[in-house]
Amino acid sequence: MTPIPLEKEALFPRMDGMQKNIKKLEKLSRLSFQDFCKEDNYDLAQHHLRLALEGVFNISSHILSRLPGGRAVAYKDMAVKMGECGVIPKDFVNRALIPMAGMRNVLVHHYAEMEAKRLYEIVCNHREDIETFLKHIRDFLQNLKSFQLEMS
């Protein structure tokens, strides 16, 4: 059976949007903690982090849907499958992608409980994990033939 091709329109606009979210988060990371907590900065950080993490798992879902045995519903399961299928290195999955799944769920379902200090720490110290994810996806897209996939 011929695998369904990956769709450029499902991947590249999302990746571009994630890059924009990362830039917004980088700008917020330069604020002092006191300024980060002022006005709309905290809300903007939550918003851009949530959008970036939604992008991570939308991209993961799209890729996994094209790989044999890649089907996963829960976000943490998607993270694990990305490693098992060889799309993302397993050490990155364990160190960063699984925690991203947990953070995505917090931002979507428990956003009112998110402590400003925790969000600030993520924006300042873990934003690069999203960039690393995108790097791994770009590497994967350069090697589609080894996964017996194509792009449409």
Whether 88 is covered by a domain: the verdict is yes
Residues of the domain holding 137: 8-145
Residue 68: per-residue pLDDT: 87
Count structural domains, the chain: 1
Whether 129 is covered by a domain: the verdict is yes
Whether 107 is covered by a domain: the verdict is yes
Which residue, 44, 18, 41, 21, is CA-closest to 31?
Answer: 41
Tokens of 37: 């907590």
Whether 151 is covered by a domain: the verdict is no
Q: What is the mean pLDDT of residues 64-90?
A: 92
Q: What is the mean pLDDT of residues 4-26?
A: 96
Q: What is the mean pLDDT of the chain?
A: 93
Per-residue pLDDT for 2 more than 70?
Answer: no
Whether 55 is covered by a domain: the verdict is yes
* Sole residue written with tokens 């790097």: 135
Whether 3 is covered by a domain: the verdict is no
pLDDT band at 90 (very low <50, low <70, confident <90, very high): very high
Which CATH number characterizes residue 55's domain?
A: 1.20.120.580
pLDDT tens digits for 43-71?
Answer: 999 999 999 999 999 999 999 999 988 88
pLDDT tens digits for 100-140?
Answer: 999 998 898 887 778 999 999 999 999 999 999 999 999 99
Whether 152 is covered by a domain: the verdict is no
Q: Cβ contacts of residue 139 below 8 Å, gap of 6+?
A: none
Q: What is the pTM of this model?
A: 0.93
Which residue, 92, 118, 94, is CA-closest to 107?
Answer: 118
Whether 45 is covered by a domain: the verdict is yes
Tokens of 58: 């939308």
